[in-house]
Structure 1
Amino acid sequence: MLSIVVEQPHRMAVRERADPSPAAGEVRVRVRLAGICGSDLHIFHGKNPFATYPRVIGHEFAGHIDAVGAGVSADRIGERVVVDPVIRCGQCHACRIGRHNVCQRLQVIGVHRDGGFSQFACVPADNAYAVPAGMPTASAAVIETFAVAANATHRTGVLPTDVALIYGAGPVGLNLLQVLKGVYGVRTFITDHVDERLALARGCGAEEDEVINTAREPLARALARRGVAGGPTLIFDAVCHPAILEEAVALAAPAGRIGVLGFSATPSALPQQALTSKELTLYASRLNCAMFPTVIDWITRGRVDPGRIVTHQIPFRDVADAFALSESQPRACCKVLLDLSEDA
């Protein structure tokens, strides 16, 4: 089989490797499409603290099961599936209380073990979820990104009276927008400094007055002009620049909640007085916690449409070009998928 291997930071190649065989309790997935995530770029650049090398990256992928290991029904062969990359130990404190996405011995497919940028990938059978008939493979391939948004909104909760604000109209921010608008029906503002990303936000359900280009208008003034008295009650930081969290604390309404997605090694200077005086709650959110069935249900019922964020499908042999596009052309692309079909 062919696999995209990050051999060491800044060095990546398509390599011929032996076809894997599924172990007991595993299935082998013939990968069709795999999404490029910011964390894949971080691994390539040596900036992901959890990755080891060499590594086949990719944690967003869909395909079909073509082989099963011992203990897995052969009836699953041929099943179209999407893979949840979160693998837990099931024994630590986090797992025992149902928070297996922060398992003490967490493994993430594509980070701690080889992932989906390969023609074949072996994964635990329980991590391979059946894709409903009629769902495009491109939509299935980005279910993981919607599961991240589902986890974040599950952590913070969403009230019918909430006024929400999302920092960043990248894939995660746009997915949060679809969830907040399509599932919960709350008024949601989204910010970015790239007009093309804000155009995608309109396509994901944002009203014209709900998109704010912060390169042209200070956020506090923009919200006030739109009648958000007292500040948003629910804020999501999908950018994770330290200054954003500081601003979010200043903007949030009393009793507001702030969800933080992603990693930044640079600390934020949060004013304790603002946190305490407004009794704000900060929710960190990592990966997803058993959210794939929820997202599949949302898609089936037409509450969200993953295909809205997919802008490119590129043959996997052109992975270097795909990475360059993802990284340097935010005006031209959003979610880029690698096509791992046999003729790609």
Structure 2
Amino acid sequence: MKSIVCEQPYQFKMMEAEKPVPKLGEALIRVRRIGICGTDIHAYQGNQPFFTYPRILGHELSGYIEFLPEKVSGLKVGDQVSVIPYMECGECIACKSGKTNCCTDMKVLGVHKEGGMQEWVVVPYDHLVKTEGLTLDQSAMIEPLSIGAHAVRRAAIKEGEFVLVIGAGPIGLGVMAFAKEKGATVIAMDVNDERLTFASKWANVDFQVNATKQPMERLTELTNGEMPTVVFDATGNANSMMESFKYPAHGGKLIFVGLVKSNITFNNPDFHSKELTLMGSRNATREDFNYVVDTLNKGTIDLSLYISHRTSLVELIPQFEKWLTPDAKVIKAIVEID
């Protein structure tokens, strides 16, 4: 079978490998769609935390069950599925409290272990989500959307409150969409006006703020001087994350959805005086995946514009570098395997 390996930063290689064989507790998945995400880009560029080379990337996956070595309740050969790519230990303090998304010994497909940028992949069957009624495209997008849904669930948003989402990339867009689902008044912030326009169109955000054009003044104006009560930073940019401490209201919350390979500092007197709640939001749980499946089945989130670029597995290597340029205007890229 064909697979693409990231051998070292800025170096992909197409390989031929043996088709994997599932053990008891696993399923063989014929991969049909692979979403390209920020983790893949960071790994390719050499700045992804918790990462070693060589590695087969890819964890936003959909496909069909091709083989099960045993009978599994609720699953059968031929089922269309999405993959929960976070392999938790099941034994640590986080897992025992239901927070499998932040397991102390987490192994994520495409990061800590081989991912799905290949024609077949073996996955524990308890990490599969049936996606009957959805398209293969929708099924592959459940994982990135679940990250946004998890962050919104962490924030416990109340209807009508002002929510600021910094970063109008794929994850930030998901946060915006699910914050709107909760009834928030959503403000999108980015440095790119085209992305802000897209956020207004796709996520139906209420207001836009360009981060390079006096954002404090604009936020003060939009919130009648009170500032947003919930702020998400989905940029994965250290400067943005440090600036984001300025934006929450007194008594507000700041949630870091993005991840950066560096230290983050903030002004403690300001943080203390506001009595801010600072949260990290990592990955997602099955609860979030199920919520996204239900939302997609309701038809309230349209992915036809969200997925902006496509290619095949055999054409991915020359395309990948092109997608990294701002001129490519990528919102979300996806790999098709037929």
Give 1:334's match in structure 2, choosing from 328, 331, 335: 331
Displacement of 1:294 in angstroms is: 1.1
Query: What one-letter code is carried by the residue in structure 1 that aligns with 2:172?
Result: G
| Count, aligned residues | 337
Q: Which runs of 4+ in 1 moved over 6 A?
A: none
Moved more, 73-82 or 97-106: 73-82
**Distance (whole Å) between structure 2 residues aligned to residue 75 and residue 158 of structure 1:** 35
Query: What one-letter code is carried by the residue in structure 2 that aligns with 1:195?
Result: D
Corresponding residue for residue 220 of structure 2: 224
Query: What one-letter code is carried by the residue in structure 1 that aligns with 2:337?
Result: L
Encode CA deviations 1:147-185: one digit per residue, 9 max, x unaligned: 10111111111111320001111001111111111x212
Corresponding residue for residue 295 of structure 1: 292
Encode CA deviations 1:237-266: one digit per residue, 9 max, x unaligned: 001323323332222111101110122233
Alignment partner of 1:204 is 2:202: yes
Judged with a 3 Å threshold, the aligned counterparts in structure 2 of structure 1 residues 50 and 159 are, in CA distance, closer, same or farther, namely same
Corresponding residue for residue 229 of structure 2: 233
Moved more, 5-14 or 79-88: 5-14
Corresponding residue for residue 16 of structure 1: 16
Displacement of 1:74 in angstroms is: 9.8
Corresponding residue for residue 144 of structure 1: 143
Percent identical among aligned pairs is 31
**Distance (whole Å) between structure 2 residues aligned to residue 73 and residue 159 of structure 1:** 38
**Distance (whole Å) between structure 2 residues aligned to residue 294 and residue 45 of structure 1:** 32
Query: What one-letter code is carried by the residue in structure 1 that aligns with 2:195?
Result: R
Judged with a 3 Å threshold, the aligned counterparts in structure 2 of structure 1 residues 140 and 307 are, in CA distance, closer, same or farther, namely farther
**Distance (whole Å) between structure 2 residues aligned to residue 129 and residue 330 of structure 1:** 35
**Distance (whole Å) between structure 2 residues aligned to residue 171 and residue 37 of structure 1:** 8
Within 5 A, what are the aligned runs for 1:252-267? 252-267=248-263
The question of whether the paired residues in 1 share the 8 Å contact of 2:83 and 2:129 is answered with yes
- Structure 2: 5+ residue stretches without partners: none
Judged with a 3 Å threshold, the aligned counterparts in structure 2 of structure 1 residues 245 and 124 are, in CA distance, closer, same or farther, namely same
Displacement of 1:8 in angstroms is: 2.5
The question of whether the paired residues in 2 share the 8 Å contact of 1:24 and 1:71 is answered with no
- Structure 1: 5+ residue stretches without partners: none
Corresponding residue for residue 187 of structure 2: 189
Alignment partner of 1:26 is 2:22: no
Query: What one-letter code is carried by the residue in structure 2 that aligns with 1:165?
Result: L
Corresponding residue for residue 112 of structure 1: 112
**Distance (whole Å) between structure 2 residues aligned to residue 198 and residue 152 of structure 1:** 20
Judged with a 3 Å threshold, the aligned counterparts in structure 2 of structure 1 residues 93 and 277 are, in CA distance, closer, same or farther, namely same
